[in-house]
Every structure is written in structure tokens, then in C-alpha cells.
Amino acid sequence: MASVKMPQLGESITEGTISKWLKQPGDQVKKYEGLVEVITDKVNAEVPAPLAGVLKEIKVKEGTTVTVGTEIAVIEESMAASQAATPSAPASQPSKPVVAAKGAEVPARAAAAAERTEGRARLSPAVRALIEEHRISDAELSGISGSGIGGRISKKDIEDYVAKRAQPAAANGEQRQRGAEAPPRPAGVAAVPGTPVPLSPMRRAIASNMVRSKQTIPHAWTVAEVDMSNVVRFRQQARDGFKQKEGIDLTFVPIIVKAVVEGLKAVPILNASWSDDGVVMHKDINIGVAVSVEDGLIVPVIHQADRLSIAGLAKVADDLAKRARAGALTIPDVQGATFTVNNPGTFGTILSYSIIASPQAGILAMDAIVKRPVVVDGDAIAVRSMMNLCLSFDHRVLDGVSAARFLQGVRRWLEGFSEQIPVY
């Protein structure tokens, strides 16, 4: 018997909802065959069977949400699969005649080993009851070394483990208590109690990501002002045709992403990640595009954005945004970004300080394009479509000079935009 657990479908995901069982109890399942569909706050995914066998029991009903690591089903290993492992045993027996003198020991050792593995898998009723009672995960269990015959985990082992596990928890409890007592309410100020809104899994994930990122990455921030007049003009001309031809709206996002890709090619240090062993320079340019959804934010990824034309970027970005809002993203859709583009400008902001998505080195915010009088060549004053590009970058990875060079590159590419630049 092997238990199937709710997998962790992506970083910082803490729970998932069973949307559909693809197999029913009694069904044969092949290894890696689709077993169940799971919805998380980021993606919908099909979870494959971890081994071949017969689905014995479904532990979590469709529509139920459980935390990562919860047992959701039990698969009975097929005989063929378990037998397949045994023939390798004789191969490990020593064939040299010198060792053969000790022949009698070999089967004894093999038997002992067999007993050990068997004993490991077989838990006594008392041990099982304790595991249940104290909600000990399989991961924890595998960390407990059995003191019984053949490495068997005994009741005492579990009790010892539980006692040990309880200690730090108690310490935390104390801290919490102290914390709760700590802030004295200012005298005379009437506290109006608020009602806490329960945290959604996505809220929780965003919170933990943001805290981790802001606490570990020394953010630096810089802004470049870009004259978007050429791009705006081009978009106005091309918009209807593009819509007719492609069926989607030509937004500023694919054009900005294209500019960012060009900028990253010129300043590859921004397409990198900090690690204690050194800065990891990424080979692919995968651009995460932040999409706001109800109650949160998802950042699907345009993979290998440097290989796509503006039209190609538009198509991929549109598809990702639509699927993000429909909750239909898959795990690969949200993984592997090397740089992120954020588009708060659609909501009218003009200066945005974005938090970097760890372990990336930077995030670029495109703010609102607004018409402003600006001084142009020949000291004339003209009305131009202006936009601020705000870059947050990891100051461990790069310095202001590189950041400025990147922004200048992006700015020049956008300002120099013309019909000559191919859309396809």
C-alpha cells in the first residue's frame, strides 16, 4: 500500500482542491498515469500516479480543499511492480570465491536486510495510532530512526519524537504570549476593534513571498522617463488590423516586453539570480508578466521571450492573462521567470516601486502613459506621450550603472520605435 499525497504544485502553495478524480477505487493505474485533477490558487494540474497498482481508496472527495502533504488516496502496489525489485538481490551477492567461504553469512544478511525493509514498512497498531494522533507526516516518519529489531519504529520511538517535537513549539507559544502582552494600549485612545478577514491561500502565498523577498533582497530603485509617442502612434495605426488578423488586442505589454528583452540582451546581469556561490547568469530570457486577478496577483511566464516576435509575445501574453483570470494556468506557466514586467500604469499610477520576485534580479514597472508638455530638440515645447519605467533591482547582483544602462537601452529602443521594426 502506498499513499498518494496532495503535492506541492509550485512554490509557496500550501493547499489544493480536488477538482476531479480521473480514476475510481478498484481501477488499475499505471505509473505516471493521470490520477486526479487538482486546483490550487495558482494553477490547475493533473497529478500523476506515483506508482503502478490498483487505486484502493479515495480519501478526499471532489471539491474538498486540503493542505499539501495530506493523504488523498491509497494505491496498492501491483505484484509485478514489487516483484520487479526482488531479482536485483542475488546480483548483489558476492561472486568471488574468497568471499564464498563466508557463504553462510550472506543469506543471513540478506534475510536481515529483507526483514529490515519489511519491518520498516510495517507499523504496529500502537505506532499507527500515535502517528494519527500527533499528525506525524511521512516525511517526519522517515526521519525517525527505529530502535526496534531490524530498525522497526516502536511506540517509544514515536513518543520520544513527539516529546522532542513539542519542545520548540512550546517555546514559540511562550514568545507569542510575550508578544501579545508587549504592546501596551496607549492610555485614553479608544481602540475600535476590527474584524479580521480570513486569509485566502493566495493572500498567504503573496504575503510570504513578499516578506521573504523584501527581507532578503536589498532593493534599489531607479526611474527612466520614456517618450512613448512613436509607440502610441504605431499602436493606433496597427491596432485594428492586428485585431482583425489575430483576434486579439495589441496592447503596450508585448512591445514593452520586446524592449525589455532587448535591454536584457544588452545588460545580461539583470537576467540573473543571486546565490551565495556566485551570480547565476540565466541562459533563457523568461519574462514574468504580472496579471491582477480577483483578490490577488499571478505572474505567468512568457518562456524564451527572446525568440518571439511582438505578435508572438502578444499572443502568448494574451493567452496567459486570459487563463490566469480563468484559473486555468498549469504549473509550467508560472515557473521559471528570469525577469518580471509589471504594468500598474493601466490603473493610472505614475511611479511604482515594485518588489522583486525572488530569485530574480529585477522587476520593471511600466507606469501610465500620459500626455505632457516636454522640451524637445531645438528647445521647443511639445506635447508628448510620456511614461515612467521604474526598475527595482537586487543591489547584490548589480549596481546603479548597469541598471541605468539597461533602462537607457529600453528607453532608446522604445523612443526609436518605427514601422520598420517588424511586428512578426
The cell for 310 is 511582438
User: Edge to edge, what strands does the sheet with 15-21 contain?
Assistant: 44-48, 34-39, 15-21, 65-67
- 127 is a contact residue toward other proteins (CB under 8 A): yes
Residue 11 one-letter amino acid: E
Tell me whether residue 125 or residue 378 sits nearer to other proteins (CB atom): 125
Tell me whether residue 3 or residue 124 sits nearer to other proteins (CB atom): 124
Is 276 designated active site? no
> In the set 12, 124, 346, 385, which binds other proteins (CB under 8 A)?
124
Gap between the Cα atoms of 72 and 68, Å rounded: 10
> Cis (ω within 30 of 0) for the bond into 359?
yes
> In the set 26, 87, 97, 125, which binds other proteins (CB under 8 A)?
125
Minimum distance, C-beta of residue 124 to other proteins, in the bound complex (Å): 5
Minimum distance, C-beta of residue 126 to other proteins, in the bound complex (Å): 4
> In the set 89, 111, 121, 129, which binds other proteins (CB under 8 A)?
129
Gap between the Cα atoms of 310 and 340, Å rounded: 17
Gap between the Cα atoms of 413 and 240, Å rounded: 24
The residue whose grid cell reads 513578499 is 210
Minimum distance, C-beta of residue 154 to other proteins, in the bound complex (Å): 6
Question: Per-residue DSSP letters for 57-86?
Answer: EE-S-TT-EEETT-EEEEEEEPHHHHHHHT
Tell me whether residue 127 or residue 320 sits nearer to other proteins (CB atom): 127
Binding range to other proteins, per CB under 8 A, among 94-102, 151-159, 181-189, 346-354: 151-159
The residue whose grid cell reads 516576435 is 309
> In the set 48, 69, 148, 312, which binds other proteins (CB under 8 A)?
148
- 115 is a contact residue toward other proteins (CB under 8 A): no
Minimum distance, C-beta of residue 190 to other proteins, in the bound complex (Å): 55
Gap between the Cα atoms of 387 and 344, Å rounded: 12
What residues contact 200, with CB distance under 8 A and at least 6 apart?
A: 41, 295, 296
Q: Which of 160, 240, 284, 399 is catalytic?
A: 399
Is 303 designated active site? no
> In the set 134, 155, 405, 412, which binds other proteins (CB under 8 A)?
155
- 131 is a contact residue toward other proteins (CB under 8 A): no
User: 163, 180 in Cβ contact below 8 A?
Assistant: no
Alpha-helical (H) ranges within 143-281 are 155-181, 201-216, 229-246, 252-266
Binding range to other proteins, per CB under 8 A, among 144-152, 263-271, 280-288, 392-400: 144-152
Tell me whether residue 75 or residue 127 sits nearer to other proteins (CB atom): 127
According to DSSP, residue 193 is labeled P
- 149 is a contact residue toward other proteins (CB under 8 A): yes
Q: Which residues are catalytic?
A: 395, 399
Residues in contact with other proteins by CB under 8 A are 124-127, 129, 148-149, 152, 154-156
